[in-house]
Amino acid sequence: MTMWVFGYGSLVWNPGFDVSERVLGTLTGYARSFCMRSIHHRGTDESPGLVLALDECVKSRCEGVALAVADDIRDDVLEYLRERELISSAYLEKFLTVTLADGRQVEAVTYVVDTEHVQYCGGLDLEEQAQIIARAHGGMGPNTEYLFNTSTHLAELRIHDPDLVWLAKRVKSLAA
């Protein structure tokens, strides 16, 4: 059985594993937002950055990319994803139903935010998010790079996320 992974942030543009099929997909009941403080990849303990996470929200939906993994590398990819995404236990690994653009429904490994975790910061207004993203830097580089790459790749896929569009524009003006 094919393993699917749902990408809504950096997995869209940097999955880090071989993808055998890539299809636009929608996850209902969750909203993408910068609701998790990053103390490893895009910030530090002293100056946390922000990364995208999925916050459970009944009336929401998140458009992203469903990534199929070949059976022969499934275990390696799952190990890699757990190392990457569960570094601080702020994400929960779930298998959720994603509706693909072609109408298929698949169960996909999906990383959603643990709202009880200390890194959860849902509800920050967009200006505060922009101020944090503009200055944060972590082990994988500047927080701005994460925002700009995600925003650009979602736009290329014709996935419209008005908050990311606003944030990218605002952060560019702060960095100028």
Catalytic residues: 85
Q: Is 91 exposed, middle or buried (0-12, 13-18, 19+ CB in 10 A)?
A: buried
CB of 3 within 8 A of CB of 139?
Answer: no
What sections of 5-88 are H helices per DSSP? 10-13, 74-85
The distance of Cα 99 from the centroid of its chain, to the nearest Å, equals 17
Rounded CA gap, 25 and 40, in Å? 28
Q: What are phi and psi of 95, to 5 degrees?
A: -105, 110
Structure tokens, 22? 């890539």
Number of alpha carbons in the 13 Å side-chain half-sphere of residue 158? 3
